[in-house]
């Protein structure tokens, strides 16, 4: 028999034999590919080649896999679970970018720049980006506060900050995500009917006056939106793997469309089209004339009777996208807010339907509420926490990098829109002056509208599908925590873990948003839910920092409680700035949910019960340990402590973060000392008072030592 000797060094390590070292090195190589240890990694693993990156993109999944129950999760092998782990780029950065870039970028941002002007539009985008960045810093603090559990943002927040904050944030996040699916579906239908296939309209010409508020457009939105919702629900119901198969296509569409827009910004000055027709300060729809001249029969028939207006206002046929060097940046600097049916500030539209007019009354606050949903989606990386190699590193880096990237794109787009496109064309929300073509599609290069139309349609449909995939899983997680009893029915799913019941409720809520049938009306609702959600995240971090709870020790070096406080204040301010009545409704809803949870289980009792049961599960973690000091303090005859310094020493030992229990003995008959006992209970001091009556002093001391123990286990063994 062959034996192998092992030598133990002074530091406690064991010297292995050469065969064992070789086997250990191979094991470390395998572990380095799947885990965080990269001791024996080759250079190829640290800096992957282009082929490796393309293979990662082909395996990219925008939706996290359904979470199994704990028993099922424990049955999975470690090898299979490690094989699906992702890094910062594929696991956080790209999903967050895909969720942030949405329909608002393609069909509303240029209009916002034209109405608000370059300066105020830049300020709107900057405020919204600051709000999400401050919230991302708070999320990073939560992610670095210990081990990040699998299950998404709800699990991460509820396990780190408690079920109260987790439940509030989770429900608001669920409602916001569900209504976001309605917004994406309405945006997809608007792109389809307005720019791609107007002949599909069931209730008349969608290009007629009235815009998104016209009965023709509203009814088409409701019918086609409901049909598209059913199709997406069917795909999600079949399984999340089919959604993930389309994720790479949707991601490529988003990135390629944005790249085409930026190329178009710098190549626009070389093009002579599109052109717009202006009669004085009135922008004319392309369907209202054959050629933009005073000899045109349609224009003469419309304005010929008003000779004063016809002669005194110039008729011009100008390039709509003249380019960066055209000097439009100064002209588009100021705001030009319009009321409903106005063609320019203070000028009402006439009876002629060929005049491009505003379909809603606009203001700084209205535009802010419409734009804010385009910066949401920052929790996409947190939702995939269980699929990340190192969530504490990937979530902060990937989320902040994604927000920085999208913020730069939005802010530079505002400046480039203002410098490149004619102001009248920017204010043409539906492109009626350029034959109902999307303004962004006319800017993009290659110079064909179908590049942006197809890309924006697919990316919008993909975003709606992802919302319908993520929202039911979030509701299922909330229901399984038993925070709200009437939601428990939605905690059940299929055998494969798919939340079928939660999907049905999500479809019903999404249908409510579709029946509203107006993207500009649904966007403020989404804004309120996400602002409340982000506000709760920031508030939770502020409270944890100010209360100095020992389990709150974030390792994110850029976090400070004041940044969370600023984020909370900014969320609250944006809520009331956008729509004070929507803000009140959202706050009433949040308060009702809080009170309902408190009424159902007694929040304080439930929290205490939860904490005590957690203490019984095992030894306390070192991060959660708090000093508990029992001070035996003798009293003088006048019931004052003999040594006040003893209490001061106990306070210094626990540093205000633990629990001090002060025990004293009142000698004598209970009836005679009743006044002293009553006096102690009348003191307005935050403490628990308990009176124990025993005849012997030694027994009183023994009883006082035993009672303060929070965690006692008694075991009997047969010797």
Determine the pLDDT at residue 63. 53
Q: What is the mean pLDDT of the chain?
A: 76
Of all residues in the chain, what percent carry a pLDDT higher than 70?
68
pLDDT digits (tens, 9 = 90+) for 156-174: 667 666 666 677 778 888 8
- Read off the pLDDT band of 150 (50, 70, 90): low
- How confident is the model over 410-436, as a mean pLDDT? 90
Determine the pLDDT at residue 67. 47
C-alpha triplet 355, 106, 430: angle, nearest 5°? 15
Higher pLDDT, 618 or 372: 372
Q: Are 534 and 165 in contact (CB under 8 A)?
A: no
Higher pLDDT, 415 or 359: 415
pLDDT digits (tens, 9 = 90+) for 386-410: 667 887 888 889 999 999 999 999 9
- Read off the pLDDT band of 125 (50, 70, 90): very high
Listing DSSP states for 494-561 in one string gives -TTS--HHHHHHHHHHHHHHHHH--HHHHHHHHHHHHHHHHHHHHHHHHHHHHHT-TT-----TT--H
Determine the pLDDT at residue 349. 76
Determine the pLDDT at residue 137. 94
> Strand 659-663 to strand 628-632: parallel, antiparallel, or no bridges (unpaired)?
parallel
Q: Is the peptide bond before 191 cis (omega within 30 degrees of 0)?
A: no
Determine the pLDDT at residue 606. 56
- Type and span of the H or E element at 7: strand 7-8
Determine the pLDDT at residue 326. 77
Of all residues in the chain, what percent carry a pLDDT higher than 90?
17
Determine the pLDDT at residue 604. 56
Determine the pLDDT at residue 132. 94
pLDDT digits (tens, 9 = 90+) for 469-512: 888 888 888 888 777 778 888 888 777 777 888 999 999 999 99
Whether 690 has a pLDDT exceeding 70, the answer reads no
pLDDT digits (tens, 9 = 90+) for 641-688: 777 777 777 777 765 566 677 777 766 666 666 666 666 555 545 455
Determine the pLDDT at residue 588. 84
Determine the pLDDT at residue 709. 45
pTM of structure: 0.74
- How confident is the model over 596-607, as a mean pLDDT? 57
Listing DSSP states for 641-672 in one string gives BS-HHHHHHHHHHHTTSSEEEEE----S-TTT
Most confident range, picked from 68-82, 273-287, 559-573: 559-573
User: Helix (H) and strand (E) counts for the chain?
Assistant: 30, 9
Q: Are 396 and 555 in contact (CB under 8 A)?
A: no
Structure tokens, 703: 């009883």
Whether 531 has a pLDDT exceeding 70, the answer reads yes
Determine the pLDDT at residue 605. 57
**In sequence order, which ranges of 101-162 are alpha helices (DSSP H)?**
103-107, 109-143, 153-161
Determine the pLDDT at residue 43. 37
């Amino acid at each position: 028999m062959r034996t192998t000797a092992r030598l133990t060094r002074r530091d406690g390590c064991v010297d292995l034999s050469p065969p064992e070292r070789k086997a250990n090195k191979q094991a470390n190589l395998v572990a380095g590919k799947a885990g965080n240890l990269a001791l024996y990694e080759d250079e190829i693993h640290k800096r992957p080649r282009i082929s490796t990156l393309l293979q990662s993109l082909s395996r990219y999944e925008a939706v996290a896999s359904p979470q199994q129950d704990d028993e099922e999760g424990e049955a999975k092998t470690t090898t299979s679970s490690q094989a699906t782990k992702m890094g910062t780029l594929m696991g956080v950065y790209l999903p967050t970018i895909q969720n942030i870039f949405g329909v608002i970028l393609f069909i509303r941002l240029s209009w916002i720049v034209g109405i608000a002007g370059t300066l105020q539009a830049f300020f709107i985008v900057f405020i919204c980006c600051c709000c999400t960045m401050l919230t991302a810093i708070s999320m990073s603090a939560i992610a670095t506060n210990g081990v990040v559990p699998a299950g998404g943002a709800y699990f991460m927040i509820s396990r780190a900050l408690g079920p109260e904050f987790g439940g509030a944030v989770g429900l608001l996040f669920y409602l916001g995500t569900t209504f976001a699916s309605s917004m994406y579906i309405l945006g997809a239908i608007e792109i389809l009917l307005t720019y791609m296939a107007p002949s599909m309209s069931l209730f008349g010409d969608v290009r007629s006056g009235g815009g998104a508020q016209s009965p023709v457009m509203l009814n088409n939105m409701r019918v086609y939106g409901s049909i598209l919702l059913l199709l997406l629900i069917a795909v999600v119901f079949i399984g999340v793997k089919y959604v993930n198969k389309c994720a790479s296509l949707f991601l490529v569409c988003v990135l390629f469309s944005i790249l085409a827009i930026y190329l178009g910004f710098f190549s626009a000055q070389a093009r002579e089209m599109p052109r717009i027709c202006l009669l004085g300060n009135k922008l004319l729809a392309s369907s209202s004339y054959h050629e933009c001249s005073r000899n045109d029969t349609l224009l003469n028939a419309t304005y010929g009777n008003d000779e004063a207006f016809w002669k005194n206002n110039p008729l011009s046929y100008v390039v709509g996208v003249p380019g960066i060097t055209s000097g439009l940046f100064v002209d588009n600097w100021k705001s030009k807010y319009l009321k409903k049916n106005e063609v320019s500030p203070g000028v009402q539209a006439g009876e002629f339907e060929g005049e491009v007019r505003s379909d809603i009354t606009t203001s700084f606050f209205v535009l802010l509420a419409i734009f804010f949903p385009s910066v949401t989606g920052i929790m996409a990386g947190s939702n995939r926490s269980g699929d990340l190699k190192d969530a504490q590193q990937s979530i902060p880096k990937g989320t902040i990098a994604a927000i920085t990237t999208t913020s730069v794109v939005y802010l530079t787009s505002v400046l480039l829109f203002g410098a490149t496109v004619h102001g009248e064309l920017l204010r043409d929300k539906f492109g009626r002056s350029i034959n109902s073509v999307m303004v962004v599609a006319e800017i993009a290069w290659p110079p064909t509208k179908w590049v942006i139309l197809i890309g924006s349609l697919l990316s919008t449909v993909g975003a709606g599908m992802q919302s319908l995939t993520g929202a039911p899983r979030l509701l299922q997680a909330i229901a399984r925590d038993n925070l709200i009893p009437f939601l428990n029915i939605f905690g059940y799913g299929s055998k494969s873990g798919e939340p079928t019941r939660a999907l049905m409720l999500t479809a019903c809520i999404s249908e409510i948003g579709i029946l509203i049938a107006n993207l500009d009306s649904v966007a403020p609702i989404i804004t309120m839910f996400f602002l409340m959600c982000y506000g709760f995240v920031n508030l939770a971090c502020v409270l944890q920092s100010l209360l100095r709870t020992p389990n709150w020790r974030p390792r994110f070096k850029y976090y400070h409680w004041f940044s969370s406080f600023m984020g909370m204040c900014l969320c609250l301010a944006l809520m009331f700035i956008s729509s004070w009545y929507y803000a009140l409704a959202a706050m009433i809803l949040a308060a009702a949910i809080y009170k309902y949870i408190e009424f159902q289980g007694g929040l304080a009792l439930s929290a205490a019960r939860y904490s005590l049961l957690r203490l019984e599960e095992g030894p306390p973690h070192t991060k959660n340990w708090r000093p508990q000091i029992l001070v035996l303090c003798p009293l003088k005859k006048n019931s004052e402590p003999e040594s006040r310094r003893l209490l001061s020493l106990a306070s210094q030992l626990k540093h205000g973060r633990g629990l001090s229990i002060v025990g004293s003995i009142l000698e004598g008959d209970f009836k005679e000392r009743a006044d002293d006992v009553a006096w102690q209970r009348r003191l307005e001091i935050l403490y628990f008072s308990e009176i124990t009556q025993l005849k012997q002093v030694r027994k009183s001391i023994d009883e006082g030592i035993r009672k303060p123990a929070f965690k006692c286990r008694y075991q009997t063994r047969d010797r």
